[in-house]
Amino acid sequence: MKTYRTYTPAQLSVWIPQLVARNDMHAFYISHAWLHLREQVLREQHYECQLCKARGLYVPATTVHHIQTVRHAPWLALTKSNLLAVCDECHYKIHHKQNKKWEDERW
């Protein structure tokens, strides 16, 4: 079994705000911890878009979305229950249509 560096919620709460501050969220998205978990979530959610699936459609998932954003809830960045396999179209909609509403709901 391959070992890779992962982060506790407490470490994420320190690390991610640092990345945000220096505008380097990319470092999170290329971390082994994220890439490994992302692959695991896609596999567990059968590479199906969970939002399309809820509407009775089968669409391959291409992305793993953070339900509570990494910026706003860094401690949930590597928590499976905060992750959702989605297709590009649903992902776009989540971020461009509902984002405002979601932000309001959360903050």
Rule CB under 5 A: which residues touch Zn ion?
49, 51-52, 59, 65, 87, 90
Taking the least distance from each CB to Zn ion, the nearer of 10 and 96 is 96
Residue pair 85/49 in contact (Cβ under 8 Å)? The answer is yes
Taking the least distance from each CB to Zn ion, the nearer of 49 and 73 is 49
In angstroms, give the least distance from the CB of 8 to Zn ion: 23
Residue pair 96/70 in contact (Cβ under 8 Å)? The answer is no
Taking the least distance from each CB to Zn ion, the nearer of 10 and 56 is 56
Count Cα neighbours of 102 within 13 Å in the Cβ-side half-sphere. 12
- Distance between CA atoms of 101 and 98, rounded to whole angstroms? 5
In angstroms, give the least distance from the CB of 32 to Zn ion: 20
Taking the least distance from each CB to Zn ion, the nearer of 5 and 100 is 100
> CA quadruple 38, 44, 45, 47: dihedral positive or negative?
positive
In angstroms, give the least distance from the CB of 56 to Zn ion: 12
In angstroms, give the least distance from the CB of 3 to Zn ion: 28
What SS3 class is residue 1?
coil
